[in-house]
Structure 1
Amino acid sequence: MRILHTSDWHLGQNFYNRNRSAEHQALIDWLIKTVRDQQIDLVLVAGDIFDTGAPASYARKMLNQFVVQLSQLNCQLILLAGNHDSVAVLNECQSLYAALNCRLVTTAQASAIQEQIFTLQNAQGEPAAVFCAVPFLRPRDILSASESSHQDLQHAISRHYQALFERAQALSQQVGIASLPIIGSGHLTLLNSKKTNSVRDIYIGSLEALPASVLPDFDYLALGHIHQPQAIGPTGKIRYSGSPLAMSFDEKSSEKSVVIYDTLAADPIHLLAVPEFQPLKQICCSLQQLPAELAALPAHKLPYWLDIEISATDYHAKVQQQVHEIAADYPVEVLLVRRARKAAQLDPAFIQTSSLTELKVTDVFNQRLTEIELDSEQSRALQTRFLQCLEQVNKEPL
């Protein structure tokens, strides 16, 4: 059985106020072609299907068309909810998707644990693997009434995965094939994963990341949330597929890919590169060097979207206007103009002069915190409380 693992599509996202519908449609067309060419039996989307809890109508239409097209190819589909996804919005289509060979798993409540474990069948209708479908874990779904600390949450996550794994082992024995691979999934942050600027930190209390050692030994663990494709740990069995499109300019530095997991292959994991549907480029230079940098861009059928970082010595009140005037002679669209960050961070006026697109909420909070006379204990207490408030604000509506 050949499984294509992908995640973090963020359908409906605007990239610095640019609509990405053409890119996302190109991605879906490429995925359909890949399913045909690679003889894929099942596609797994491990969370963050949409960019917000209230996606635009065109984004919902794209997902619906994808579900229909895969069904017509007799390819199975598993959709997991991520932290950006609204459970209520996804569940609107759950019954319809089920009729189109698509399993949608949005919550991980203990009362519905049986719905999170099932046998995957190959094209011949034979059992090929046991799957543990784990979406983004919300504390209210897995914590008991007496649990509240980050240690409790870590234990609850581990407990939930272990319960699924044990039931998966039992299901494999019921099928009569003890050697069936057990595949897990998740939408979370593991320790030592490499994040990019576009990833929204998931803070639940003060727990930001989970050690991989607390999770069961799956034959393959398909993860979402981190946008940079990567394996966690030495075995390579725990893997983030990464986002298929760059969600921020710094993601341009790593090649985008999907993972193909073949249950019968001796080397079951294979990465397949995703084409670049919209060229992005970061340019770091002085204002004087900018024309030469623009002239050196390789030819492309689409205009480049640019993030231009100007050296601090050249950065002044009219620099954005000058950059746009220079760029007007080239096949580019300037999305962001900013001062060189290393120099800017040394400048006490960094927060005041940086654009909002450059800053995270935590950047602003930490900068302001350094301006207040507090001892280390008071500072830590404020940071913890801030992260708790931020997590509450970031919760998607059910």
Structure 2
Amino acid sequence: MRILHTSDWHLGQHFMGKTRQAEHQAFCAWLIDQAREQAIDAVLIAGDIFDTGAPPSYAREQYNRFIVELRASGCELVVLGGNHDSVAMLGESKTLLAQLGTRVIPGVCEQLDEQLLVLHCRDGTPGAVLCGIPFIRPRDVLLSQAGQSAQDKQQSLQQAIAQHYQHLYALAEAKRAELGGDLPIIATGHLTTVGASASDSVREIYVGSLEAFPASAFPPAAYIALGHIHRPQKVGGLEHIRYCGSPIPLSFDEAKQQKEVLLVEFDGGGLHQITALPVPCFQPLLSLRGSLKELEAQIKQAAQQGSAEQPVWLEVMVGTDDYLSDLQQRIAALCEGLPVEVLRIRRERGNASASLQGQARETLDELSVEDVFTQRLSSESLDEGEQARLLGLYQQVVSELREGEV
């Protein structure tokens, strides 16, 4: 059994005034080629197929086109809902898409066995049993209880999610026994786990009202395909619990990451091998930092990666000269005639006044809702862990509000 594990596509993302449509289209074509060349049996998308609960029409069209074109490659597709996805929107077409070899689990199902799937090899024989677990919202598994503290609610949610995994895994074991007893069991998830790192510096991060789900609470599946964290990584050093990361950089913080999808092979009922397939860079994206003199050389070097048809997108952080009032004009002069496009200019000084001056040069069209909240956070004296926790809480509130609108 050979599967491709991918997640966090965020189709329809609007990035500082730029669409990611061309990048996503190139990625979809590349992934379909990989499915053919690698003789993949099933593709798993572990959440956040869309960037918002109400994606633009072109993003929905990309999603549908990918499903149709992937079907010709001969492999199955399983789509799990993420925290950015609308349960209602993903669910509205699941019956239709099932006719195209695509199974969609937009949210926690009323009947647990609806989340239990059998994945097939290309010859039609059963290849694995899948515990298809999407992003779990508190209301999916918990009843609100009066008098609970925030810590009590957090602990109750962790326990409820752990029970959800264990109950579904028990059903998977029964299904495996029914099918012959030697199939691997695969689980999915869209959440943050203890030890997951969003950057090259290893640290715990917290997203949503669930603070770092412990890896020990997962059932003993042969492989656990996770989504939600955009940086590819093992969880707690464990080979079989993986985040594949996003296929394209979704922020300048991710610009230096090698994006990938994971080819996971099973043999004799267990995990055989995991191979990272590097995703090509479809749009050069760089973050530069230094004085104006240093930036001049860096911008010229960055321009070598661009072309008139596809300029390099830049984030520029200015140090030393960050006090200058005409900074935007000076940066524009450094870029004149070069195949680069500056999407954001930042001043290195961390004080609030400098931050506000920098923000005044940006329009709302250049900022997402999350950018505005992130900039507000940056003006506070908070450590990285606390900023990440607050950002996660904010993202969950926005997701729930969007879900209510759809």
TM-score (norm 1): 0.88
Mapping of residues 363-374 of structure 1, within 5 Å: 364=376, 367=379
1:236-266 C-alpha deviation (Å, 9 max, x unpaired)? 1100010000001121222000001111287
Q: Distance in 2 between matches of 1:233 and 1:338?
A: 34
Task: Please say if residues 221 and 239 of structure 1, whose CA atoms lie closer than 8 Å, have aligned partners that are also in contact.
Answer: yes
Q: Does 1:136 align with 2:118?
A: no
Q: Does 1:121 align with 2:120?
A: yes
Q: Distance in 2 between matches of 1:334 and 1:19?
A: 15
Q: Distance in 1 between matches of 2:230 and 2:392?
A: 22
Counterpart code for 2:295: L
Cα pair distance change 1:76/1:390, threshold 3 Å: closer
Match in the other structure for 1:2: 2
SS across alignment from 1:61: helix
Task: Please say if residues 199 and 231 of structure 2, whose CA atoms lie closer than 8 Å, have aligned partners that are also in contact.
Answer: yes
Counterpart code for 1:361: F
Q: How far apart are residue 388 of structure 1 and its match?
A: 6.3
Match in the other structure for 2:173: 169
Match in the other structure for 1:377: none
Unaligned runs of 5+ in 2: none
Q: Distance in 1 between matches of 2:124 and 2:221?
A: 23
SS across alignment from 1:144: coil
Cα pair distance change 1:385/1:275, threshold 3 Å: closer
Q: How far apart are residue 291 of structure 1 and its match?
A: 2.3
Counterpart code for 2:397: Q
Match in the other structure for 1:374: none
Counterpart code for 1:188: L
Task: Please say if residues 41 and 76 of structure 2, whose CA atoms lie closer than 8 Å, have aligned partners that are also in contact.
Answer: yes
Match in the other structure for 1:373: none
Cα pair distance change 1:271/1:72, threshold 3 Å: same
Q: How far apart are residue 74 of structure 1 and its match?
A: 2.1
Match in the other structure for 1:237: 240
Match in the other structure for 2:399: 394
Match in the other structure for 1:86: 86
Cα pair distance change 1:85/1:125, threshold 3 Å: same
Q: Distance in 2 between matches of 1:226 and 1:169?
A: 28
Match in the other structure for 1:282: 287
Q: Distance in 2 between matches of 1:350 and 1:159?
A: 49
Q: How far apart are residue 209 of structure 1 and its match?
A: 1.8
Q: Distance in 2 between matches of 1:28 and 1:390?
A: 26
Q: Does 1:258 align with 2:290?
A: no
SS across alignment from 1:3: strand
Unaligned runs of 5+ in 1: 371-379
Q: How far apart are residue 364 of structure 1 and its match?
A: 2.6
Q: Distance in 2 between matches of 1:133 and 1:13?
A: 25
Task: Please say if residues 7 and 241 of structure 1, whose CA atoms lie closer than 8 Å, have aligned partners that are also in contact.
Answer: yes
SS across alignment from 2:261: strand
Task: Please say if residues 351 and 364 of structure 1, whose CA atoms lie closer than 8 Å, have aligned partners that are also in contact.
Answer: no
Cα pair distance change 1:12/1:366, threshold 3 Å: closer
Q: Does 1:65 align with 2:65?
A: yes
Cα pair distance change 1:306/1:348, threshold 3 Å: closer
Task: Please say if residues 312 and 339 of structure 2, whose CA atoms lie closer than 8 Å, have aligned partners that are also in contact.
Answer: yes
Q: Distance in 2 between matches of 1:25 and 1:306?
A: 22
Cα pair distance change 1:282/1:137, threshold 3 Å: same
SS across alignment from 2:334: helix
Q: Does 1:77 align with 2:77?
A: yes
Task: Please say if residues 8 and 47 of structure 2, whose CA atoms lie closer than 8 Å, have aligned partners that are also in contact.
Answer: yes
Task: Please say if residues 312 and 339 of structure 1, whose CA atoms lie closer than 8 Å, have aligned partners that are also in contact.
Answer: no
Q: How far apart are residue 112 of structure 1 and its match?
A: 1.8
Match in the other structure for 2:198: 195
Q: Distance in 1 between matches of 2:346 and 2:233?
A: 29
Q: How far apart are residue 368 of structure 1 and its match?
A: 5.6
Match in the other structure for 1:155: 159
Q: Distance in 2 between matches of 1:390 and 1:2?
A: 34
SS across alignment from 2:288: strand
Task: Please say if residues 294 and 327 of structure 1, whose CA atoms lie closer than 8 Å, have aligned partners that are also in contact.
Answer: yes
Q: Distance in 1 between matches of 2:335 and 2:5?
A: 39
Match in the other structure for 1:375: none
Cα pair distance change 1:209/1:125, threshold 3 Å: same
1:265-301 C-alpha deviation (Å, 9 max, x unpaired)? 8742111000000011111121122222222233444
1:96-137 C-alpha deviation (Å, 9 max, x unpaired)? 10110000001114x321011122111122221110000010
Count, aligned residues = 377
Q: How far apart are residue 144 of structure 1 and its match?
A: 3.2
Q: Distance in 2 between matches of 1:87 and 1:348?
A: 39
Mapping of residues 289-304 of structure 1, within 5 Å: 289-297=294-302, 298-301=304-307, 302-304=310-312
Counterpart code for 2:50: F
Cα pair distance change 1:369/1:310, threshold 3 Å: closer
Q: Distance in 2 between matches of 1:196 and 1:317?
A: 32
Out of 86-95 and 145-154, give the one that drifted further: 145-154
Task: Please say if residues 196 and 227 of structure 1, whose CA atoms lie closer than 8 Å, have aligned partners that are also in contact.
Answer: no
Out of 136-145 and 386-395, give the one that drifted further: 386-395
Aligned mate of 2:315, from 300, 304, 307: 307
Match in the other structure for 2:186: 183
SS across alignment from 2:124: coil
Q: How far apart are residue 28 of structure 1 and its match?
A: 0.7
Task: Please say if residues 249 and 282 of structure 1, whose CA atoms lie closer than 8 Å, have aligned partners that are also in contact.
Answer: yes
Q: Distance in 2 between matches of 1:161 and 1:228?
A: 24
Task: Please say if residues 206 and 392 of structure 2, whose CA atoms lie closer than 8 Å, have aligned partners that are also in contact.
Answer: no
- Identity among equivalent positions (%) equals 41
SS across alignment from 1:43: strand
Task: Please say if residues 318 and 347 of structure 2, whose CA atoms lie closer than 8 Å, have aligned partners that are also in contact.
Answer: yes
SS across alignment from 1:349: helix
SS across alignment from 2:128: strand
Q: How far apart are residue 186 of structure 1 and its match?
A: 0.6
SS across alignment from 1:313: coil
TM-score (norm 2): 0.86
Q: How far apart are residue 92 of structure 1 and its match?
A: 1.9
Cα pair distance change 1:167/1:138, threshold 3 Å: same
Counterpart code for 1:149: K
Match in the other structure for 2:48: 48
Q: How far apart are residue 349 of structure 1 and its match?
A: 2.3
